[in-house]
Structure 1
């Protein structure tokens, strides 16, 4: 646990536990469905494995999570934090300004998208979405999302399957779409995103993904 505030106030006592760096983001990942250590690492790519292990041990010791045969799951106390995490997300959307360039991460974006695939909206069989981020240099420019019945996987190297549809454009714009700042349609109209593939796939692609609940938050004028 972090340093004590030495106050009896329950806010102070709660923050002694929750305001350590990365703790709330670890809880966010657990609430989003990540449970295995490697899945948590993919949702927190800039957190060192040693620090993640330390935070998981601490959260287990204080009773917010438990380890079920190698999978970390929230306890009742941990689940009660879900509305708080969601409220922080809504507040962040409403009142925190533009995201900076350093906040853009294709690996994190695709990982988040892969776990919010609406499999009922994706055509039967295997669908491969190829992402070409024109504002990203090097190998990190190209990504593939492979969707099969009930499963989705992210690849940073060509998996060798036929591509169903290609999304070409800036990482910033797709991140803004994913955050709910702009719609798919708006991003395509202004030319920041271009979708290549059969017409019916291009038309339905946005419905393949379910945005987070906070993405619909109304922004102040």
Structure 2
């Protein structure tokens, strides 16, 4: 494949050759969420140039990590998606998200945010062992509205999916505020009192939220 070569017989070096270039991991992040058109990738990645995005996508296709497909009618759109080999990187992405969380705060001026990045972030820190049975709604605001998620705890651990939270205990907060609540750096009651979070339904249920995640132990 084209690009950096490390001339080392090492699996980590091979992986770095494929995903170590600037923007490549963020392209994979987007494709883990859904297949994307070229224009969608450019819009969501922000500062990447068309030429550089084309170069990165071509390198990933050459490596067998990404493929280009045409959606059937009525869409008739050409999109990029991960191959089976590409999707196999998801556990490594999960661990990178967990590790990167140590350096997430303080927020930097001008940083952008896409609400569906919440899925990857919360999935990375979700408990994979038994937790208390509960179902909690989450609403993350962004400039054009809010995006809803359903968080469920039970014997198999914690799961997160997109969905509306009508009829169940729910919390609405910016994602940075939510992470502080999950990490037990900001008590739920304080977040509500300050106006940083809004809640509805059972407060008792909502106080279980930090116990559904493993963020509290992910410290420097």
Match of 1:188 in 2: 191
Match of 1:36 in 2: 36
TM norm structure 2? 0.58
Residue pair 1:41, 1:49 contacting (<8 A) in 2 also: yes
Distance 2:59 2:80 in 1: 12
Match of 2:11 in 1: 10
Match of 2:92 in 1: 84
Aligned length, in residue pairs: 178
**Higher mean C-alpha deviation, range 17-26 or range 68-77:** 68-77
Match of 1:219 in 2: 218
* Structure 1: gaps spanning 5 or more residues: 123-128, 133-141, 153-164
Q: 1:188 to 1:217 in 2, by over 3 A?
A: closer
TM norm structure 1? 0.58
1:38-57, aligned counterparts within 5 Å? Answer: 38-57=39-58
Residue pair 2:35, 2:81 contacting (<8 A) in 1 also: yes
Residue pair 1:130, 1:167 contacting (<8 A) in 2 also: yes
Residues 102-150 of structure 1 deviation map (CA, whole Å, 9 limit, x = unaligned) = 3742xx243435899xxx977xxxxxx7948xxxxxxxxx431377xx9
Residue pair 2:67, 2:83 contacting (<8 A) in 1 also: yes
1:100 and 2:119 matched:
no
Higher relative contact order (Cα pairs below 8 Å, separated by 6+ residues): 1
* Structure 2: gaps spanning 5 or more residues: 71-77, 122-134, 149-160, 164-169
RMSD after superposition: 4.5
Match of 1:138 in 2: none
Query: How far is the alpha carbon of 1:186 from its aligned partner?
Result: 5.0
**Higher mean C-alpha deviation, range 17-26 or range 51-60:** 51-60
Q: 1:97 to 1:59 in 2, by over 3 A?
A: closer
Distance 1:166 1:219 in 2: 23
Distance 1:82 1:45 in 2: 23
